[in-house]
Amino acid sequence: MNPKVRTPSQSPTSAEIISALRPDGTLDPAHDPGLSAQEVEYLYRQMVMTRQMDERLVQLQRQGRIGFHVGSLGEEASILGSAFAMAKQDFLFPCYREFGAALMRGLPLQKFIDNMFGNANDTVLGRQMPNHTTCREVGWCSISSPVGTQITQAVGFAWAAKIQKKNASALVYFGDGATSSSDFHSGLNFAGVFKVPCVLLCRNNGWAISVPVERQTASKTFAEKAAAYGIPGVRVDGNDIFAMVSVTRQARARGERGEGPTLIEAITYRMGGHSTSDDPKAYRTADELEQWAARDPIERVRGYLTKQGAWDDERERALVAEIDARFKDAVSIAERTPSPPLESMFEDVYATAPWHLVEQRQQLLSGPRAPSSH
């Protein structure tokens, strides 16, 4: 095993990391978010939905039916737990790994799958890579690939909400690699100075593509970077959905009270590749993955529900079958939907198209076409 890579046993002591779900399946009262049985089951179903989507989308990419997928295998608790803790009027600023949170907040599954195919029903009309969704109706901001840019955008939203005296907060997701970006510094500095209601969530999943956390920073933790900006930083077990809900709720409440932002470092692990274009076997060992797989966030919640008598194998099979049917239906519709029309590339830029774009559009539509597609 690569000694430079942090494993669960090498992580700082549990006293430094907030957790709620104990090994025996009970909850620590100090960090129990007080979820009802129905809420826990709902979150579990959303986690399984996200995992199942991941597995099926990877298969589609390998079959050549979609071009790309960014998964969240192993990080479902950090993503869904934090999103669940936010209010309906809040806006989420994703990285590109958080599609499960978008679905949970109300992004229609068909719209998500349409985006994966980039067809005419895709909200962004095929102009973005797959997984780069947007849905204003559910407070889900457009995703862009440049590392860290969403941090300053989220802080800007939170500042606007504060100026307008709206009860709205921002939650922004970013990986450990984004902490090396200028947007991380700019965003946290501005957020701290103006005390904006923003939850800054760093998913420390061990790797920034192939760069381990030990090569990313010389600081002991990412949470301690918050001190430089005059804001609190907290570390939480990112594979513990109960702890994620509890910590995020507290961070949001702090912002709502006018006390400013909070930096959360969620300790989790990316059990899959960075994307379908990545082979993690080239830079990490099977032993490392095996240790983290033993802390699978979905299995931990399932264990809790089973202990409560609220889940069993029959319910699991029924859930997977339901997800499979919904997925197949959405893919069938997406594959039958035509590509975006050529002229759509000139839309949504200007309220009134300038003359030169009108001219270019006319030339494009009247010109010769490739025989297979556009």
Active-site amino acid positions: 270, 274, 283
Q: Is 72 within 8 Å of 100 (Cβ atoms)?
A: yes
**Phi and psi (nearest 5°) for 262?**
-135, 135
Q: What token pair was written down for 362?
A: 């006319």
Whole-angstrom distance, CA of residue 19 vs CA of residue 242? 8
**Phi and psi (nearest 5°) for 106?**
125, 5
What is the number of other CB atoms lying within 10 angstroms of the CB of residue 14?
A: 9
Q: What token pair was written down for 26?
A: 């009970």
What is the number of other CB atoms lying within 10 angstroms of the CB of residue 349?
A: 9
| Residue in the block written with tokens 């909070």 | 262
Q: Which helix (H) or strand (E) holds 162?
A: helix 149-163
What is the number of other CB atoms lying within 10 angstroms of the CB of residue 246?
A: 25
- CA neighbor of 331 nearest in space, from 65, 104, 84, 62: 65
Q: From its phi and psi, is residue 27 left (phi > 0), alpha (psi between -120 and 50) or beta?
A: beta
